[in-house]
Structure 1
């Protein structure tokens, strides 16, 4: 009887190697932590910055790169990288146009310049013991016209002699201190004089608050010029008598006796010029 052969089964144990997953997850985690740290750093910087600084940062990132490289906020700046590939913003209808940099300045930049002038004036006042006493009589406001600077009168520290356009010594000192600081910004300036409602004995037919407010505005102009203010910056000097009182004051309030200086935006200055104060062309007779 033939012996049956059993099949030979060879069992070999497989040795499986666990693949190394690498450190890619570590890189991803490191990138995430770096981004998170940068986010918290930006949030901390924004919390420590002023509203003016945040506005400047916002304007910076909203400005297209091509506009920034062109040197300002130019709506006609070409986006073409090829020379001659777009309209040249300095040419109009084949003629070279003069560009007024003040018109191309962004509103945030104008406000920043105004704020710098205000800070410099406040620093100059703070550094002078005589002028420091006038700080409470000085007001700064940002309006649609520009930077408004008002010097208010008080019963204890009047700016002018009673019923006169003669400046008090400390008022003269203040104006001469402000004059060179106002030159640091190219915007035009207007001066207006104001009085309270206390009338003169002769009424408005003789010398009245109209003449007094105009004379005080003009005395302010002369003092600013003596302090170094550029004459070309002056756009308008006027007296308003008691017709423009301060808000929340009575007509006879001494604070209505004031001098108002306005550093105008370019659009505000152009509006004043268009009213006929400064005709650009003289008609031929």
Structure 2
């Protein structure tokens, strides 16, 4: 009993970790939860803002991504797709390359449609010019008294302005190409308006069927009509029209009558100013070009035919190697 009283008493103290519910382990779990929720809401937003076709592309991509990437399809290479990449450029170095079906309607460009559109635009421009000339005739005092002598219409060649004679008011002196003072006034006013359009101009002179007094063999209605057309051209240029606008000046005598039933009617004596459309202008320039080319070819053939098979040059011809080369280009006159 004595020994038991001397045995030492050992007290074990267990230290519990401090902090308890104030520890930080819960923060990690909460951060994981927030991250998962953000990913969930982001996924729901993407699914809600994606079209049905792209959703199918996404589903195909996740089921067999390599197949979709190589074969293409809606969503595989489209820059608007949620899943980027696909097509020929897997790395997207050269940008998105859509290999799927292109739903954009193809545009067909027709030369005929373009020409028709240009023709409509030109017809509209000539109509505006016609209205402007008619307004000028109605408002300008110097032209109002000549309304009956100014005839304006649109033909297949373009806008035609005809200045016709009246019984007591001729445009030119009798049997002459000298313009009357009031005819110059008319031409000056028209010249100011013609510069508003880029179209070329053609002038033609006409007479009635009354034969010229000196007869056909010297000076006839053909020469008279041509001189009157050229006199009108000079007056238009003097009135302010650009000289380069004139493409053709012709005299038609009484071949094209205004009043075919009465060849001697004074109205047949007239000047026609045609503001040509593009088709008429091209037909004139093309005809001139083809004529010069044909002349050049015929001249070259004549030189070739002058040389016989043995190489001997016929009298009056030059040596083949020295034969002048005929330029096959349009004349500048």
Indicate the SS of the match to 2:152. Answer: strand
**Cα 1:272/1:165, change in 2 over 3 Å:** same
Task: Specify the alignment match of 1:92 in structure 2.
Answer: none
Scaled by the length of structure 2, what TM-score is found? 0.52
**Cα 1:278/1:237, change in 2 over 3 Å:** farther
CA contact (8 A) 1:189 1:235 kept: yes
Indicate the SS of the match to 2:213. Answer: coil
For the aligned residue pairs, the C-alpha RMSD in angstroms reads 2.9
CA contact (8 A) 1:103 1:266 kept: no
Whether 2:223 is the aligned partner of 1:211: answer: yes
Please report how far the alpha carbon of residue 279 of structure 1 lies from its aligned counterpart in structure 2 after TM superposition: 6.6
Indicate the SS of the match to 2:240. Answer: coil
Whether 2:156 is the aligned partner of 1:149: answer: no
Task: Specify the alignment match of 1:221 in structure 2.
Answer: 233
> For the residues of structure 2 that align with 1:106 and 1:88, how far apart are their CA atoms?
14
Please report how far the alpha carbon of residue 87 of structure 1 lies from its aligned counterpart in structure 2 after TM superposition: 11
Indicate the SS of the match to 1:263. Answer: strand
Task: Specify the alignment match of 2:146 in structure 1.
Answer: 134
> For the residues of structure 2 that align with 1:131 and 1:199, how far apart are their CA atoms?
31
- Counting matched residue pairs gives 193
Query: What whole-Å deviation, never above 9, does each CA across 1:92-144 have from its counterpart, x for those lacking one?
Result: xxxxxxxxxx9685333222211211122122222222311111111112111
Whether 2:282 is the aligned partner of 1:263: answer: no
**Cα 1:88/1:130, change in 2 over 3 Å:** closer
Task: Specify the alignment match of 2:170 in structure 1.
Answer: 158
Question: 1 or 2 for the larger relative contact order (CA 8 Å, sep ≥6)?
Answer: 1
Structure 1, gaps ≥5 residues long: 1-79, 90-101
Scaled by the length of structure 1, what TM-score is found? 0.61
User: Which aligned pairs between 1:4-15 and structure 2 lie closer than 5 A?
Assistant: none
Whether 2:215 is the aligned partner of 1:180: answer: no
**Cα 1:128/1:86, change in 2 over 3 Å:** closer
Q: 1:242 aligns with which of 240, 246, 254?
A: 254
Structure 2, gaps ≥5 residues long: 1-102, 297-324, 327-333
Task: Specify the alignment match of 2:131 in structure 1.
Answer: 119
Indicate the SS of the match to 1:191. Answer: strand
